Structure 1
């Protein structure tokens, strides 16, 4: 007698060893992550385009002129969304697997919000670090670490207070649409 298990059932409930630890749980997650690399490469530019359109709409709505500064802002958000979208897709695919639609939707929404904001804040930090490098010490030490910590805290504060305002009103439909597409496509 042969027993067959549906792929979705295998992803949702991994086999359990006699000791109680899930067998191959990490291997299954890595397999799902590897399978998500190519779709993630397609998903990320589309998501980044949506984020750039959302930021551009917000800048237009606030009647800000398009100049080199706003161009730099758009590039910064594009890079953050491109990297964040790819990493979020792979992470959500490896974590959510073939779970129910609502679990996949929640996994990608949380991953997109956190990773995109984190990477964009890190890009803000890199800009601050480059600008303030002329006043920071050259050698790594206690003072240098303090300068880096304060620069990082300032960059995160400015991103949270100013940068997130650029994406929130018009970026929510982009987030929901991207989450919906991921949840619908990865369940097949």
Structure 2
């Protein structure tokens, strides 16, 4: 029996409290994961540490905010393992992609002073390749901060969301 799409869209909108409080909690957890990683690497005293905390907090909060409706849509009236998989995949991709995008925007702002004027063909190439290299750099260097604590929190959050979205 297929569920009408209308019911799926209605289930996709989470309660406002879960949406907002969950985003703040998830963002805080991602910033904490960064702090634990930097502490383990003995790099908490860096000059860019406050900006990194803001980046990981914002990426986590916005990632939760964007992923939650998709989790509700794709896990509506599904089996528990499907709900878990949807939460795990969408929350991890949402958090990582949002954080990488924010990193790319910051990276682009720094290099914009040496780029061609806005709207030119050279500017478009510089924008695309600077952003792509920033996402690559975040993937290579920034993703390590999510391991192992971020993955454990992701599993816990996915289990909780799978139980909640029955």
TM class, shorter-chain normalised? over 0.9
Q: How many residues align?
A: 166
State the match for 1:185 in structure 2.
Answer: 164
- The Cα offsets for residues 25-74 of structure 1, whole Å up to 9 and x where unpaired, read as 1x223211224444222222222222111111111111113344111111
Which residue is equivalent to 2:122? 143
Alpha-carbon separation, structure 2, partners of 1:127 and 1:106: 31
CA root-mean-square deviation: 1.6
Question: Normalising by structure 1, what TM-score?
Answer: 0.82
Gaps of 5+ in 2: none
Q: Is the Cα contact below 8 Å between 1:124 and 1:156 reproduced in 2? A: yes
Contact 2:75–2:165 (8 Å) recurs in 1: no
Unaligned runs of 5+ in 1: 1-11, 15-23
- For residues 51 and 129 of structure 2, the distance between their equivalents in structure 1, rounded to whole angstroms, comes to 23
Q: What is the TM-score normalised by the length of structure 2?
A: 0.92
The residue that corresponds to 2:95 in the other structure is 116
Aligned residue among 5, 13, 24 for 2:2 = 13
Deviations 1:108-149 (A, max 9, x none): 100011111111111011111111111112231211110011
> Partner of 1:171 in structure 2?
150
- Structure with higher Rg: it is 1
On the 8 A contact 1:54/1:174 being kept in 2, the answer is no
What aligned pairs does 1:14-163 form with structure 2 within 5 A after superposition?
Answer: 14=3, 24-25=4-5, 27-163=6-142
